[in-house]
Amino acid sequence: MPYAHITGWGMSIPQKILTNDDLAKMVDTNDAWIQERTGIRERHIAAENQSTASLGAEAALHALRVANLAPTEIDLIICSTSSPEHTFPATACLIQDAIGATRAGAFDLSAACSGFIFAVNMGAQTIKTGSAKNVLVIGAETLSRFVDWNDRNICILFGDGAGAFVLQASDRPGGVISSVMRSDGSGSDLLSLPAGGSKHPASEITVHTGMHFIHMDGKEVFRFATRVMAQATIEVAEKAGWKTADLALIIPHQANRRIIDAAARGLKLPMEKFMVNVERYGNTSTASIPIATVEAVQQGRLKPGDKVVMVGFGAGLTWGALAAEWSGPISTERKLAPEWYAWFAPARSLVRRAIRLLEGLFFGRKS
């Protein structure tokens, strides 16, 4: 059975920064309160011309470049998101088109802030069972579009961004070793976006009552998160045959610094073992773990051979973890930069649309 290695990683962050002081001009809050309760100093907000797919595509291209892979070599794209561009088509399909991954199947995965863990596990299983060789996993969010900027309980927390991994098959031992995926739908009301789905389609009432915004019971979510983070880390490490003391790094979902502190206490591990960057990005939901991973590599905190656990939690309720032996690129052959494929993507897309139009004109009436 092949191993599923993480061979590429990338991130994309919008330029616009919203600081705690900026928020204090919008709602009744202040920098000291936000920093003390969450550890967040600032977050990035997508510009009007940016979207979940455009951030996801940019992160994907960076990841492909690290892996030395061309978009056309990708077999499968999984995009984890809670802020998809549409109910359908999948945001993964828009990214597939944007980067020119013409051979790839693409679908979205919805498991909120735990989604990236679930998606990497799905990608790794697809490789291990032999149905794909190269998988692109993306976590992308523009949750700022679902935030009520008058609600101080919510608007201080979230930020936009995207991260991506390339997973590749190899006979060399390593890569994704074990995983844990859990859900508890009895807590579905604790963190939700109530309207816009089939239960509450958009209507004057849903808009008027703010049902298209994120709703959350912060205290309960906090309690749940502190309970599951340490548990899932221990479980996934045991499944891999490791002790938590063996871990070079733990990359937790970046929701709140206090939740990460509590996990460290629960695991009896020093904070140096945890990657933390929530202060600069806020909670980017499913994108937070890959973004933190990219920065961990850049800071030299993650090296080939290192044992790492990634652990997340979120709406659903969902939580999960994965244990991996860090790999690095396995393909050394230099390729045409992935960006080239992306530059030609709009022209290719246009040609395909034109062909469909002509086919409709010439053959449509016969059927």
Point out which residues bind ligand COA (CB under 6 A): 29, 33, 37-38, 113, 152-153, 156, 191, 216, 218-219, 221-222, 225, 255-256, 283, 314
Q: Which is nearer to ligand COA, 34 or 60 (CB)?
A: 34
Backbone dihedral region of 144: left (phi > 0), alpha (psi from -120 to 50 degrees) or beta? alpha
Q: Which is nearer to ligand COA, 244 or 283 (CB)?
A: 283
| Nearest-approach distance from CB 153 to ligand COA, in angstroms | 5
| Nearest-approach distance from CB 303 to ligand COA, in angstroms | 29
Distance CA 220, CA 233 (A): 21
Is 283 one of the annotated active-site residues of the chain? yes
Query: Among the options 5, 44, 62, 253, which is catalytic?
Result: 253
Q: Which is nearer to ligand COA, 155 or 330 (CB)?
A: 155
| Nearest-approach distance from CB 68 to ligand COA, in angstroms | 34
Distance CA 94, CA 308 (A): 31
Q: State both tokens at 166.
A: 């390339």
β-sheet bridge partners, residue 252? 311
* Burial status of residue 317 (CB atoms within 10 A of its CB: 0-12, 13-18, 19 or more): buried
Q: Which is nearer to ligand COA, 132 or 262 (CB)?
A: 262
| Nearest-approach distance from CB 98 to ligand COA, in angstroms | 27
| Nearest-approach distance from CB 221 to ligand COA, in angstroms | 4
Q: Which is nearer to ligand COA, 34 or 76 (CB)?
A: 34
Q: Which residue is nearest to ligand COA (CB)?
A: 218
Straight-line distance from the first to the last Cα atom of the chain, in angstroms, rounded to the nearest whole number = 46
Is 253 one of the annotated active-site residues of the chain? yes
Query: Among the options 113, 121, 155, 256, which is catalytic?
Result: 113
Give the CA-trace dihedral at 107, 108, 110, 116, to 10 degrees.
Answer: 100
Supply angle C-alpha 255, 257, 261, rounded to 5: 120
Q: How many alpha carbons lie under 13 Å from residue 141 in its C-beta half-sphere?
A: 33
**Which secondary-structure segment (H or E) carries 56?**
helix 52-67
Q: Which of 59, 61, 55 is nearest to 342 (CA)?
A: 61
Q: Tell me which amino acid residue 62 is.
A: H
List active site positions. 113, 253, 283
